[in-house]
Amino acid sequence: MKLNTIGDGTWNLISSYLNYNFNKLSIATSKLKEVRLVSFKGTYISFAELKSQQSSPVPGDYACVLTTDSSELFIYYANQNYEWVTDGGVYDPRVILSDYIEMIELSNISQIDKDIDDYNRHKT
């Protein structure tokens, strides 16, 4: 799942990025809730390897397939016809939730003031 990188900017821009990321996470979580019996079958370097190693998937099975440079990850799952399918979504295996969820220490409150000042200077 490719999430927006949150950088510097106005609160309006940052909140749009956050809303987009939260929406993507919500959709991904909803998909997982729909699966009753989930069985992870591993990570493979190609779809052909997945099919050869796991030739008889059952609904609820899922596996990860990396691209050759390991920069993207596809999630395959077994459908009701006992076939491996993917929704075509590209997922970034380097995404770590801690990159997007941070605790702000009291000593960093001054940064919030700077963000508010920046927003007030740039709003129209």
Boundaries of every domain in the chain:
11-102
Per-residue confidence (pLDDT) for residue 120, from 0 to 100: 74
Per-residue confidence (pLDDT) for residue 85, from 0 to 100: 93
Per-residue confidence (pLDDT) for residue 57, from 0 to 100: 93
Sign of the alpha-carbon torsion through 18, 89, 55, 31: positive
A 10 A CB-CB count for 82 gives 11
Q: Mark the ranges of the chain whose per-residue pLDDT is less than 50.
A: 97, 99-107
Per-residue confidence (pLDDT) for residue 92, from 0 to 100: 60
